[in-house]
Structure 1
Amino acid sequence: MARRLEESSILLTGGTAGIGLACATALAEAGVPRLMLASRTAARGAEAIAALRAAAPATKVRFLAADVTTPEGATAAAAACAEAYGRIDALVSTAGGEALPKLLHEQPIETLPETLRTITSGVLLPARAVLPYMTEAGGGSIVCIASDAAKVATPGEVTIGAAMAAIVMFCRALAIEAKRSGIRVNAMTPSVVRGTPLYEQSRQDPFASRLFAKAEQAARLGVAEPGDLGALAVFLCSPASARLTGQAISVNGGISAA
């Protein structure tokens, strides 16, 4: 049985800004009593904890400075959550980097391996790190952030799309493996999301700003905001989604039907 949010301990990697912080805030406001944030920057961690305590004073929030794009950092984050709270009931893994769209022939070939590694490792390694704890506890929910670039071929997102597709297939395959242990694995795949560091960076880049502006025109239901992903994260971490696993769920305001 999926544990009630009001009884859960949840680890959020990359949870100090943008979508990650929105997910943490939504979970705290939904009644999650114990949150552990893991990110590289201690200063941003302190700011995130202050914001969360203001939004949900009853929630216990801790922070670990760790680079979860490395095996050591991801392992440390999972261990810190388990040690602090006794278990890990859910993981929201959002530390996938913030690569801007760029046409492939304009990308130096030597940068491709690092771009692929950064995007994928920050999301996949924490998912691997929490598996022993969730398996021992008899279940849990893993939520990974990818993007619609995993599903829709777009000029300028060749490398990004390849990395995002890797995250989505990782979630689907792991969902089949982990279901025998009561572990659910799903991906959230937004398109353009206003109010994030990546969105603000894109506005300063001529190619990315044109690409995002065109996508926004197709979002007739409204351009997604971080809170939209936060609301979906609450659902995916809760018993309301107890029968849902192996899915890649788009949140894009109608930009595409991916």
Structure 2
Amino acid sequence: MTGDAPGRAVIITGGTSGVGLATARRLAVDGDTRIALIGRNTERGKDACSAVRAVAPDCDVHFVAGDANDPAQAVEAATSARDLLGGVDVLINSTTAFYTPTLLRDVPVSDIGAVLTGQALAPMHMCRIVLPWLAAAGAGAIVNVASDAAKVPTPGEVVIGAAMAAIVTFTRTLAVEAKRDGIRVNAVTPSLIEGTLTGERAMAGGFSKKLFEKAKQQAHLGPTEVDDLAELIAFLTGPGSAKITGQVVSVNGGISVA
């Protein structure tokens, strides 16, 4: 725990909606009283802060504008968040690229690079920036949100799967490097998450809708929701997982067991 204020200082990249926002609410209820939400949309950021205060009125929550895919903006946003919170104890990266599952033959060659960098760069940038701060404190927890596409070869997810696999390998390798400084690094890999913008795009129609409708039939434990991810992330950043690092945990209702 950094600083003199109670509760941990938490930075959540992509914290203004979806899994990031659900995690912010969950951690605030648990007593993490200093939270910074990094995102690109200021209006959504203000709404997200209000949503966190609605469940935890004493939480000191801030929105910091920035695109973590851009190196300079990532440094500026992370530094501003650290200064607002008085330090950093936890980093959660929950950003998503604009992508709908599409067979590779139908993906324009010019789009491949944007999908890869749009998904994989933000968590890498943020981990690199925050890592020295956590190392100086001798403790910390990082969770990167990826996708089961990193582990299960799925038609239509060739490019996004490659980006997610990059995040997973990055996470596991960083865990090996960071453990000597008391830092734990883990990843969570959902499949389709209901109630999110990404999920709505995936179910909008065409090949993607057919793919995920078939997948949902295998989710015998129920479709994944944002609060399911928030519960796991809260555990992976909390004291109950003090000896867990380098792990990649699926949350998919039983769609796969990879």
| 1:220 counterpart residue number | 220
Does 2:161 align with 1:165? no
The equivalent residue for 2:123 is: 123
Which stretch shows the higher mean deviation, 119-128 or 227-236?
A: 119-128
Aligned equivalents of 2:73 and 2:205: distance in 1?
31
Encode CA deviations 1:36-70: one digit per residue, 9 max, x unaligned.
00101101001101111111111110111101111
- Contact kept? 1:96, 1:122, Cα under 8 Å: no
Contact 2:35 2:61 in 1 (8 A): yes
d(CA) in 2 for partners of 1:74, 1:240: 30
Any idea what SS the aligned residue of 1:188 has?
Answer: strand
Among all aligned residue pairs of Structure 1 and Structure 2, give the percentage whose two residues are the same amino acid: 47
> For residues 215-235 of structure 1, what are the alpha-carbon distances to aligned partners after superposition, in whole Å with 9 as ceiling and x for unaligned?
100000001100000001110
| Match in the other structure for 1:68 | 68
Q: Show CA shifts across 1:81-135 (max 9, x none).
A: 2211221100110113231110000001111011100010122211111111101
CA distance in 1, matches of 2:74, 2:93: 10
Q: Does 1 or 2 have the higher relative contact order (CA < 8 Å, sep 6+)?
A: 1
Q: Distance in 2 between matches of 1:199 and 1:207?
A: 14
Render the CA deviation track for 1:175-234: whole Å, top value 9, x for unaligned.
Answer: 000001111100010001101111111222311111111110000000110000000111
Code of the aligned partner of 1:253 = G
Distance in 2 between residues matched to 1:70 and 1:204, nearest whole Å:
29
* More displaced 10-residue stretch of structure 1: 75-84 or 234-243: 75-84
SS at the partner of 1:62?
A: strand
Q: Partner amino acid for 2:19? A: I
Q: CA deviation at 1:34?
A: 0.5
Contact between 2:148 and 2:250, CA under 8 Å: does it hold in 1?
yes
- C-alpha distance in structure 2 between counterparts of 1:182 and 1:71, whole Å: 26
Rounded Cα–Cα distance in structure 1 between residues aligned with 2:106 and 2:82: 44
Could you tell which deviates more after superposition, 19-28 or 245-254? 19-28
SS, match of residue 35 in structure 2? strand
- CA separation in 2, counterparts of 1:62 and 1:242? 27
SS in 2 for 1:7: coil
Query: Would the aligned equivalents of 1:151 and 1:165 in 2 still touch at CA under 8 Å?
Result: yes
Counterpart check, 1:114 vs 2:114? yes
For residues 98 and 187 of structure 1, the distance between their equivalents in structure 2, rounded to whole angstroms, comes to 20
The answer for the alignment partner of 1:150 in structure 2 is 150
Alignment of 1:85-234 (within 5 A): 85-234=85-234
The residue aligned with 2:14 is 14
**Root-mean-square deviation over aligned CA pairs:** 1.5
For 1:122 and 1:101, locate their aligned partners in 2 and report how far apart those are by CA, in whole Å.
20
Q: Contact 1:96/1:121 (CA < 8 Å) preserved in 2?
A: no
5+ residue gaps, structure 2, are none
Tell me if structure 2 keeps the 8 A contact 1:176–1:246: yes
d(CA) in 2 for partners of 1:171 and 1:36? 22
Letter in 2 for 1:19: V
Matches of 2:128 and 2:99, distance apart in 1: 23
The worse-fitting range, judged by mean Cα deviation, of 222-231 and 20-29 is: 20-29
**SS at structure 2 position matched to 1:218:** coil
Is 1:23–1:230's contact at 8 Å kept on the other side of the alignment? Answer: yes
Counterpart AA for 1:174: L
Per the alignment, residue 50 of structure 2 pairs with 50
Q: Distance in 2 between matches of 1:73 and 1:187?
A: 24
| Moved >2 Å (runs of 4+) | none
The answer (yes or no) to whether the contact 2:98–2:115 under 8 Å persists in 1 is no
Q: 200-209 or 221-230: which moved more?
A: 200-209
